[in-house]
């Protein structure tokens, strides 16, 4: 979530405002200067120059400016700095053009006059995407060194068998259940599966089920709509949605309560879910990898874990031996 209070956080990102109206630029600077370093441009040419110099994370681009076509400027900006997320600023009479812009590289659009909270939310979502992309690039640099199969330490027959299984399952979309004691490297194996798959360029999202109280786990997984409950002042994107196109890793899934297990089962079976307080089904493409230091089959027989969820997760099962066993 964007920090709207701490002035020291404003350097975490750069926001470029391109609009020929000084009042609009001033208003947007006031809204965002506690969060971003805000750069202004009054013309399309100046905006492209500032884009080249400043490499902003987000651009707020007026779709109609003197002597400039917003769609052409958008294409030029995306060719110069494809990583930036562009939100088009438009009047009601140009909303259709702005909608078209979403199909040619714009992240989103907002109509004038702005609803400040709506604009903040859209900028927040754009910046989340930027941060995820930066995190992905950082992780990709470490993939060959840390997460490549050949670089995971272990020479015992047991661990070599695990590596072979990882190599075979990485190319599939099958759900994977990794079981083993704490400290055996379950997340490392999950990352190896993800980064050796064709989803490697998409997000790898981690949820530690043991670290989240029952009252928060559902909203963390599925998100919520504005007004869904007290203090829900704006929409929140859940981890399931953030993992779209990539992998969702649920560590210690045995700690999920039965109610959340039921909703999670529906989500992975139908590849849809509904945010808390929402009514629309959201379609996602997510590969699920789960891990547990407890035997889920025993928990299922004891009524502490849903058997149908266990069998749905246990399509591919990997057991990681304890390090003391590998040293023998």
pLDDT (0 to 100) of residue 153: 52
pLDDT (0 to 100) of residue 328: 46
Choose among 267, 272, 279, 263: nearest CA to 228: 279
DSSP for residue 203:
-
Choose among 169, 170, 187: nearest CA to 178: 187
Q: Are residues 162 and 97 in the same domain?
A: no
Is position 1 within any domain? Answer: no
β pairing state of 272-273 and 282-283 = antiparallel
pLDDT (0 to 100) of residue 154: 53
Is position 188 within any domain? Answer: yes
Is position 137 within any domain? Answer: no
Q: Are residues 118 and 157 in the same domain?
A: no
Is position 138 within any domain? Answer: no
pLDDT (0 to 100) of residue 249: 96
Q: Are residues 125 and 174 in the same domain?
A: no
For helices 70-80 and 95-102, angle between their N-to-C axes, nearest 10 degrees: 20
The two three-digit tokens of residue 216, written as one number: 């928060």
Q: Are residues 156 and 259 in the same domain?
A: yes
CATH code assigned at 229: 3.40.50.300
pLDDT tens digit at each of 328 positions of the chain: 454 444 334 347 999 999 999 999 999 999 999 889 999 999 999 999 999 999 999 999 988 887 777 788 888 888 888 889 999 888 766 656 656 666 677 888 888 888 888 899 889 888 988 887 777 566 555 544 555 555 555 556 666 777 778 888 888 888 999 998 887 778 988 988 998 888 988 999 999 999 988 888 888 899 888 876 777 778 888 899 999 999 999 999 999 999 999 999 999 999 999 888 888 889 999 999 999 999 999 999 999 999 999 999 999 989 887 655 544 4
Is position 250 within any domain? Answer: yes
pLDDT (0 to 100) of residue 182: 81
Range of the domain at 87: 7-130
Q: Are residues 104 and 185 in the same domain?
A: no
Classify the phi-psi angles of 181: left when phi > 0, otherwise alpha if psi is within -120 to 50, otherwise beta.
Answer: beta
pLDDT (0 to 100) of residue 10: 38
Is position 75 within any domain? Answer: yes
Q: How far is CA 286 from CA 62, 125, 175, 249, 283, in A?
A: 35, 19, 10, 10, 10
pLDDT (0 to 100) of residue 192: 86
Q: Are residues 85 and 159 in the same domain?
A: no
- Distant-in-sequence contacts of 267-272, Cβ < 8 A, 24+ apart: 267/221, 267/222, 267/240, 268/175, 268/312, 269/312
pLDDT (0 to 100) of residue 261: 94
pLDDT (0 to 100) of residue 167: 80
Question: Which run of H or of E encompasses 121?
Answer: helix 116-142
The tally of domains found in the chain comes to 2
- Contact between 59 and 26 (Cβ < 8 Å): no
Could you tell me the strand order of the sheet in which 287-292 lies? Answer: 204-208, 247-251, 287-292, 176-180, 316-320
Rounded Cα distance, 154 and 139, in Å:
22
CATH code assigned at 51: 3.40.50.2300
Q: Are residues 266 and 161 in the same domain?
A: yes
pLDDT (0 to 100) of residue 2: 52
Rounded Cα distance, 242 and 222, in Å:
9
Is position 31 within any domain? Answer: yes
Q: Are residues 205 and 308 in the same domain?
A: yes
Close Cβ partners of 82 (under 8 Å, ≥ 6 residues apart): none
Q: Are residues 318 and 250 in the same domain?
A: yes
Is position 269 within any domain? Answer: yes
Q: What is the per-residue pLDDT across 38-97, written as a single tens digit (0 to 9) for each? A: 999 999 999 999 999 999 999 999 888 877 777 888 888 888 888 899 998 887 666 566
Q: For the chain, how long is the longest CA-to-CA vector?
A: 76
Burial 71-98 (b: 16+ CB within 10 A, else e): bebbeebbeebeebbbbbbbeeebbebb
3-class state of residue 218 by DSSP: helix
pLDDT (0 to 100) of residue 89: 86
φ/ψ of residue 14, rounded to 5: -120, 130
Q: Are residues 90 and 34 in the same domain?
A: yes
pLDDT (0 to 100) of residue 4: 44
Q: Are residues 279 and 228 in the same domain?
A: yes
Which pTM does this prediction carry? 0.54
β pairing state of 64-65 and 68-69 = antiparallel
pLDDT (0 to 100) of residue 139: 56
Q: Are residues 124 and 176 in the same domain?
A: no
The two three-digit tokens of residue 35, written as one number: 């969060």
């Amino acid at each position: 979530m964007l920090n709207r209070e701490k002035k020291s956080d404003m350097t975490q990102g750069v926001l470029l405002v391109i609009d020929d109206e000084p009042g609009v630029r001033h208003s947007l600077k006031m809204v965002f200067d506690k969060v971003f370093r805000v750069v202004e441009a009054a013309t399309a040419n100046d905006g492209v120059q500032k884009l080249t110099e400043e490499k902003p994370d987000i651009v707020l681009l007026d779709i109609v400016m003197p002597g400039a076509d917003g769609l052409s400027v958008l294409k030029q900006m995306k060719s110069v700095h494809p990583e930036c997320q562009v939100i088009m600023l438009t009047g009601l009479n140009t909303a259709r053009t702005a909608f078209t812009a979403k199909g040619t590289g714009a992240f989103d659009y907002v109509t004038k006059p702005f609803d400040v909270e709506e604009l903040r939310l859209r900028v927040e979502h754009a910046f989340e995407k930027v941060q995820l992309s930066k995190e992905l690039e950082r992780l990709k640099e470490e993939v060959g060194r840390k997460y490549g199969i050949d670089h995971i330490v272990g020479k015992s027959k047991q661990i070599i068998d695990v590596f072979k299984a990882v190599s075979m399952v990485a190319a599939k979309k099958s759900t994977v259940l990794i079981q083993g004691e704490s400290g055996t490297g379950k997340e490392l194996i999950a990352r190896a599966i993800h980064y050796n798959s064709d989803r490697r360029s998409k997000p790898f999202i981690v949820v530690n089920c043991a670290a989240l109280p029952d009252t928060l786990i559902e909203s963390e997984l599925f998100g919520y709509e504005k007004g869904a409950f007290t203090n829900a002042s704006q929409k929140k994107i859940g981890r399931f949605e953030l993992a779209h196109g990539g992998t969702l890793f649920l560590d210690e899934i045995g700690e999920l309560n039965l109610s959340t297990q039921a909703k999670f089962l529906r989500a992975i079976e139908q590849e849809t879910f509904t945010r808390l307080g929402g009514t629309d089904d959201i379609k996602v493409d997510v590969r699920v990898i789960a891990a547990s230091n407890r035997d889920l089959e025993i928990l299922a027989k004891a009524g502490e874990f849903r058997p149908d969820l266990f069998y749905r997760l246990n399509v591919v099962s990997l057991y990681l031996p304890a390090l003391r066993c590998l040293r023998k």
